[in-house]
Amino acid sequence: MANNDPPFESRTTFFEYLDNSKVDVTPGAKCDICHLTLTTSAPQVLQQAATSAEDHEVAVQLPCTHIFGRNCIETWKRQTPTPTCPMCRTVLYLTPEEPLIFFTGVSSREIRTFREQFDAMFAGREEQIGEREMDMLWSEALMRYVSTVRLARPTSIEEEQSVARHVARVTMDGWAEPPIHEGCVRGVEKD
């Protein structure tokens, strides 16, 4: 799996892959996370060889080719919300869809996919357009995308009220200003 290949479908399939990805490592190589010596032997074999298993980590190679200790990767996955490589941040497996913290009702996965499409559409034109304008284009495109997705999904009145309260709180705290479009004065349409 190269960096541009899709991630595994689930945490389970990722760890099944890890079970089969033990690799030969240079003698004395250390895990970049815990700094224990990496080995290709299972802990039981280490104990039989009268070597302390606590001083070694079983080496596994991630799809992005980075090598770490198996226990370190398991700990990393439990402690981090996103399933990425600790070194290069390549997404390793998909997570169940969860709404974003902004109460958009659109999953992180959907937003990530939409961002990839947006980036592909503007590839090579970032310098010409400018960073600030790109950010504004992304914000507007994201708002339209979220609106389109939300319109296509049934929602409860409680969800709508929660979103409205969140938007009002963010706007009143000064984190965001209401959009001003052509034909509007301070967010209110002109007659």
Q: Do residue 73 and residue 145 come from a single domain?
A: no
Q: What is the CATH number of the domain that holds 42?
A: 3.30.40
What pLDDT score was predicted for residue 54? 64
Q: Do residue 181 and residue 115 come from a single domain?
A: yes
Element (H, E) at 49: none
Residue 172 placed within a domain: yes
What pLDDT score was predicted for residue 80? 74
Structural domains counted in the chain: 2
What pLDDT score was predicted for residue 41? 61
Provide the greatest CA pair distance for the chain.
86
Range of the domain at 33: 11-79
What pLDDT score was predicted for residue 169? 58
pLDDT one-digit tens code per residue, 35-51 = 899 888 654 544 444 35
Mean pLDDT to the nearest integer, 79-98 = 77
Say whether pLDDT at 32 is over 50.
yes
Residue 129 placed within a domain: yes
Q: Which of 86, 20, 87, 90 is nearest to 58 (CA)?
A: 20
Residue 85 placed within a domain: no
- The answer to which of 99-103, 106-110, 123-127 has the lowest mean pLDDT is 99-103
Residue reference for tokens 């959009």: 179
Q: How far apart are the first and last CA of the chain?
A: 58
| More confidently predicted of 120 and 78 | 120
8 bridge partner residues? 93
Q: Do residue 69 and residue 118 come from a single domain?
A: no
Residue reference for tokens 């004065």: 185
Give φ, ψ of 105 to 5 degrees.
80, 5
What pLDDT score was predicted for residue 2? 47
What pLDDT score was predicted for residue 45? 46
